[in-house]
Structure 1
Amino acid sequence: MIIKITQKYFYAILLFIYCVSAAYVNAQQFNATVDRTTVGQFDRFQVYFTFEGGDVNGLSNFRAPSFNGFRILSGPNQSSSMQIINGKVSGSITFSYIVQPSAIGDFTIAEASVNHSGNTYHTQPVKITVVKGTPQQQKENDGGYSREELGKNVFIVAEANKYRALLGEQITVTYKLYTKLNISSPQISKLPSYEGFWAEEVGPLQNINFEIGMYKGERFRIAKIKQVALFPSKTGTLSVTPFELNVPVIVKKKRTGNDVFDEFFNDSFFGKTETVDFQARSNIIKVEVDPLPSNAPASFNGAVGDFNFKAEIDRKDVVTNESITLRLSISGSGNLKLLKVPEPQLPTGFEKYEPKTVENINRGAVISGQKIIDYLIVPRTAGQKEIPPVEFTYFNPSSRRYITLKSPAFNINVRQGIAGNESASPGFAREDIKLLSEDIRFIKTSNFDLERKQELTLIKPWFWISVIAPFFGLIGIVVFKRRHDRLSGNIQLMRYQKAEKAARKRLVIAKRALDKNDTVNFYSELSSALFGYLEDKLGIQKSEFTIDTALEKLINQKVETSLVERVKRIAEKCEYARFAPEGETSAVAPDFYDESVKVIIELDSSLDARRKK
């Protein structure tokens, strides 16, 4: 009986050791894959050798196959990835090659091998069928690649989360860079144009991070390079123009002769490469924008999204001429920057001043945040007053209906304030009284010592000043009132007059971010200052603004070409800094700030001078 129990435990231990060993062996895998097994005679394709396991740090001595029947164009290119799932760490290392067949027929890519933790792992051979093809046209000396072939291996794809939307509804466009080749830091060639949209940058992205993924059945390294939230401002078919990048592609240098030394040093071990500039261009996105339903309430002012609304006052018991703050708060997700401020209706005897607006925008995947509007109200007459409820209506795209939010009515007790200085009480004025027995004097009959008294000047200088000053004051008031009415009736003129002041405020915020070494917000505020100035000064609507449109208007207004080029460079630098490495942009930030301030000042002087002519 004891022997049977011992044998039972012995077999259980053996089974446990076998399972653990099998799990360890299965955890480490070394596989060979290709993006396609049937290729044309002149086609390029990629071969991947991927090692996967819980620990890839001990990987060494990778030995590639001979690639008989193929010509190596690039490789080995190494990439790695690491992930943690439920506390378990796993990773992979991939060695990739770009090859081209040298003949027609059936070929086999032999096994590759690699060492890991004292063990040698081998891949399975891969069979490739090479069929007859036509030579590629328009070959260029770009390391053996034509422009067409580079376009198949390096490109940008623009994707929208929806291609049909309602007026004012958010559409998120994402730009991704796909590559099979090694590339260096891309530079922006041309930004997309969002005509008919109000655009809000999502992120912004600070660095380009590549991940392995599939696109149309082929394996690529993929990185998200730009994301933007668009809010349509008009209906119909709207287009987003392509986003263009200049991508430096690192390719294996093409052999120039039959020299044996050239053959030797062209081996992949020495990595003889060259960099080729390639212009990557995204696709055009077309979006169908439908109008909102026609049954909109009277209080609807174009808000689209999902919002909350609250109104409150800071006091309900005041005296005349004492100010009250009415605060309207709108929060939620949607086109917050395009929201029109609700107008409260005030009772008779109340005076209202221009509102102060504060915006806190969260630029995540869905644009959200809060908009606070403060009205300063001054009651001029006493009594029990009531501010009627304030209504805010928005359209919710999810429920497809208009929603009206209403604040409560505010009852205010206005007491009569203290009046100004009252007139003095009737009575005698204060005088110096002398009672030195001089109240009665004797009449003098001789020895008169009289002098002729000078004539009194009845009209003093201050009299003329008091007469003329109100006249000039009235003229000044009339001129100011006419100018104010002219600006109020001409929004574009008012924006033109206040453009430089608004830009200066933005530059102050950018300088604070720079002092805190917050380069992301620094470049964001700097671009907002420049773009906002150009919008106001050139009369461009925010939803229709593009840097190309602004530059074209500057040229039409005969601004110096050198100044226009400096504006373009600043705009491109701000956009590039959104996803460039932080160290690359922070070092030049102070000089870049000074240059931006100088450009805005020179631009303002140039535009004002031409307007006066």
Structure 2
Amino acid sequence: MQQSGENLETINGRSYDVVTFKTAIAAARAGKFEIGPIKAKAQVLTARRPNTPRSRSPFDLFNLDDPFSDPFFSEPFSQFGERREVEINSEPVAFEVKPLPQNAPPSFSGAIGNFTMTTDAKPKSVQVGDPITVTSTISGRGNFDRVNAPAVEDDRGWHKYPPSSKFKNDDEVGISGTKTFEMVLSPNEKKPTIPLLAFSYFDPAKEQYVTLRSDPIAINVQGGAVPAPAPVASQPAASTMPAAASAAAAKQDILYQLNERGRMQSFTPLYARPIFWIAQLIPLLALLGFAGWKIRQARIDNRDARRIAALQHEAAELLRKLRRNDVSPREYYAEASRVVRVKAALARNVDPNTVDAETAANTFRLNADSRERLRRLFEQSDEFQYSGAHNGSERISSENRRDVLELVEHLHV
């Protein structure tokens, strides 16, 4: 625990030095619990023992011994009391944790406390497909480790990317502060406003769920689908037929002398003509092209096989590391989300870095419960990667470790 203050208090006429230590805890389940007793050690001053006559040197015949040899000068506080180490025990504290109501809204991620939310988007004038950074700021007091990014209520016509987050605490234990999320949205079509964002939490004072929604933010999206080229008006084809003679040629009884010579023909053998050898090259070139295509396909198949083998090896190594108990939370959640991306990439034959939680859930055809667990896994990984605040111990509980390991091991197409 971290010391947060020290002051003097008077109790029953006696002054006490009061040292305050603060920490924050969160219950993982409902029920009755007891904390303490807390044990600590302290240095205190107790009543001084009776004075003993100061020994004098046998050579000090005239009482001229050094006056600074008196114990008062070597231990000045001994005149007020004797310093001792004592053990202090506190009284145990009992309390009861109530279960949360069943009607939790879809955007509830486990946040409990009292919060406010503001949202902004930049830039507000873009082209179709351009990125827009939506910044959501959640401030208040509560368990910020369960405060996740606000949910997009209607993402039709939008492409969204995983959000990043950072936390700034206002107290010593991290239950009061501000958490900022940045989410990149890209419009696939013209849109007048940013989609509404929703964040839900449970208010213990009101004992009810509260859902915060962002105000509509107007934007200007230009562009759209590329228009189809206009059909070109067809021109009437010129007639290739000669015009009919207006009058029939008169019959000729005598043939006149022909002044134009007829078409000349060559008697060169076919194999000696260039066109013959050119025609022979066509199938040869086609054969060479087919052989080159087969070689290229073999190389592509070999490269794909090496890529698949590398991804399978990476997934096996990551699963082996997830079964260890000495992995930090940041590394554990990063490796768990990487396993999901690698498995989804193997199933869809895509780059693992392009796989998000929604793509993975659709790939493995997960039910609603597994989709929610997978979404929390990706959000927890992003939080540890971008926020820089852990808000808890440096160890993962065995229950959370078992839940994550069971989820990633049972992901199959």
Q: Please report the TM-score for the alignment, with normalisation by the length of structure 1.
A: 0.36
| Between structures 1 and 2, the one with greater strand share | 1
- Higher relative CO (CA 8 A, sep ≥ 6), structure 1 or 2? 2
Q: Please report the TM-score for the alignment, with normalisation by the length of structure 2.
A: 0.50
